[in-house]
């Protein structure tokens, strides 16, 4: 047991169950960051030996990042994180369209879904508001928590330049049918467009939990976020043969680093850490998957035993698969709002949904509403996300904590 999920604070043990918000750095990652900062501090563009050393650290990291998603080293562009990677995709799509059709007065059209993270949704909404794109937001199906390939294909237009559908949802964990979506989009594109529609997936929540392969998924772009898989807070964008096959147009201009796709002197230490985190995923993904699934399934069993008939699992549908670490549970009862439960928890660190919305405590999660969870249940939801360190003993403590919190809230309600 590491001290990450079970930090001892005074005599109280904390159990961290918010791994979808962020993960701690793996000890190997921390070591590689320290080593790179201490020993490979040269400017990677310098030709002397300090520069060469730093450059080689970056090449090794790029290699592992590419391997982790089944791409080639040259397909990886290192960025500051998921938000930037997502923005780079939309920027590239728009610029590509402008160059393809310089005389057209039709705007490029982008398709996305109502399940996306704000770094996708707010970016495309802003682009639409500024008159840069036409936008269609397809809605997820209520009975599955998934975006159906049919709904994506029916949103396509001859001026559609790109589609962006996340791989796994950060709140419910539901895995989207990306392979099928890519297939139908590409088939439609061949028959109806004079260009190829580009397919992007934000794989922030899938990496490190399930195997991710750009070839199986048939995507042109894929977003990688280090701090969701025990790496540092930088990220990368996979683009299939950038500039040769898949357009990548920079948002920044400068010293030519990252082949000009994302210039700026490289953050060698963090890149080394991202590479090490990717290496760990490459080597241990089946163990991580199995462990998280065992513990998450145990958590759900124990919740059902502790609160018989009073819990429902959001995103648990017979026809949908979930990433192995995510449990989104609603407690049935008037006074059992997710944020109220969270406030009463003594040892458990959880969330009621996306970390980005943590200030809107009283509002039900828009993602749960989008998949058809009724208002009252959506408001009573907690997201419990498991990590590599979480044990069944941790879960027993969490269940005791939840029992106490819910008993207190029920008592308060009875007294009113
Ligand atoms: C699905 C998804 N995409 C993108 C991001 C954005 O990552 P960052 O905030 O590190 O840029 C997150 C982070 O919460 C996420 O969960």
3-state secondary structure of 360: coil
- Main-chain phi, psi angles of 279, to 5 degrees: -60, -45
Each residue's pLDDT tens digit in the chain (416 positions)?
A: 444 555 544 455 799 999 999 999 999 999 999 999 999 999 999 999 999 999 999 999 999 999 999 999 999 999 999 999 999 999 999 999 999 999 999 999 999 999 999 999 999 999 999 999 999 999 999 989 999 999 999 999 999 999 999 999 999 999 999 999 999 999 999 999 999 999 999 999 999 999 999 999 999 999 999 999 999 999 999 999 999 999 999 999 999 999 999 999 999 999 999 999 999 999 999 999 999 999 999 999 999 999 999 999 999 999 999 999 999 999 999 889 999 999 999 999 999 976 666 566 778 999 999 999 999 999 999 999 999 999 999 999 999 999 999 999 998 877 77
- Main-chain phi, psi angles of 306, to 5 degrees: -75, -35
Distance from Cα 204 to the centre of ligand 1, integer Å: 6
- Residue 177 Cβ inside 6 Å of ligand 1? The answer reads no
**Which helix (DSSP H) or strand (DSSP E) does residue 22 occupy?**
none
Distance from Cα 267 to the centre of ligand 1, integer Å: 20
Indicate the domain borders of the chain: 6-25+285-415, 27-280
User: Catalytic residue positions?
Assistant: 356
Question: What's the rounded Cα separation, in Å, for the pair 339 and 137?
Answer: 29
- Residue 82 Cβ inside 6 Å of ligand 1? The answer reads yes
* CATH tag, 6-25+285-415: 3.90.1150.10
- Residue 119 Cβ inside 6 Å of ligand 1? The answer reads yes
* CATH tag, 27-280: 3.40.640.10
Q: Which residues contact 205 (CB under 8 A, 6 or more apart)?
A: 20, 166, 167, 168, 169, 170, 173, 228, 323, 326
pTM: 0.96
């Amino acid at each position: 047991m590491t001290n990450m999920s079970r930090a001892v604070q005074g005599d109280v043990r904390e159990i961290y169950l918010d791994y979808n918000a962020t993960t701690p750095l793996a000890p190997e990652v921390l070591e590689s960051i320290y080593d790179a900062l201490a020993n490979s501090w040269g400017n990677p563009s310098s030709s002397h030996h300090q520069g060469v050393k730093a450059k080689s650290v970056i090449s090794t990291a790029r290699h592992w990042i590419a391997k982790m998603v089944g791409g080639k080293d040259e397909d990886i562009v290192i960025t500051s994180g998921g938000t930037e990677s997502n923005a780079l995709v939309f920027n590239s799509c728009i610029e590509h369209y402008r160059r393809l059709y310089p005389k057209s007065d039709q705007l490029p059209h982008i398709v996305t879904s109502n399940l996306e993270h704000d770094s996708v949704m707010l970016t495309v909404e802003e682009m639409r508001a500024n008159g840069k794109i036409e936008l269609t937001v397809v809605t997820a199906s209520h009975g599955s928590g998934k975006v159906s390939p049919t709904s994506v294909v029916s949103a396509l237009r001859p001026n559609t330049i790109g589609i962006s559908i996340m791989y796994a949802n950060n709140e419910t964990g539901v895995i989207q049918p990306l392979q099928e979506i890519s297939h139908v989009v590409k088939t439609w594109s061949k028959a109806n467009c004079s260009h190829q529609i580009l397919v992007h997936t934000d794989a922030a929540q899938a990496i490190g939990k399930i195997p991710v392969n750009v070839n199986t998924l048939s995507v042109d772009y894929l977003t990688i976020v280090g701090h969701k898989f025990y790496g540092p807070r930088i990220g990368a964008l996979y683009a299939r043969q950038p500039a040769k096959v898949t357009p990548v147009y920079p948002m920044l201009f400068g010293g030519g680093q990252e082949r000009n796709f994302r210039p700026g002197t490289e953050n060698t230490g963090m890149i080394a850490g991202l590479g090490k985190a990717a290496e760990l995923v490459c080597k241990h993904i089946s163990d991580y998957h199995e462990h998280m699934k065992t513990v998450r399934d145990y958590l759900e069993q124990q919740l059902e035993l502790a609160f018989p008939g009073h819990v429902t699992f959001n995103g648990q549908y017979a026809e949908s698969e979930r990433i192995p670490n995510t449990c989104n549970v609603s407690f049935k009862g008037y006074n059992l709002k997710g944020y109220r439960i969270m406030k009463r928890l003594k040892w458990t660190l959880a969330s009621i949904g996306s970390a980005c919305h943590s200030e809107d405590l009283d509002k039900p999660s828009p993602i749960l509403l989008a998949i058809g969870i009724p208002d009252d249940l959506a408001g009573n939801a907690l997201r419990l996300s498991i990590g590599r360190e979480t044990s069944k003993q941790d879960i027993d403590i969490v269940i005791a904590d939840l029992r106490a919190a819910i008993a207190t809230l029920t008592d308060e309600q009875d007294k009113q």
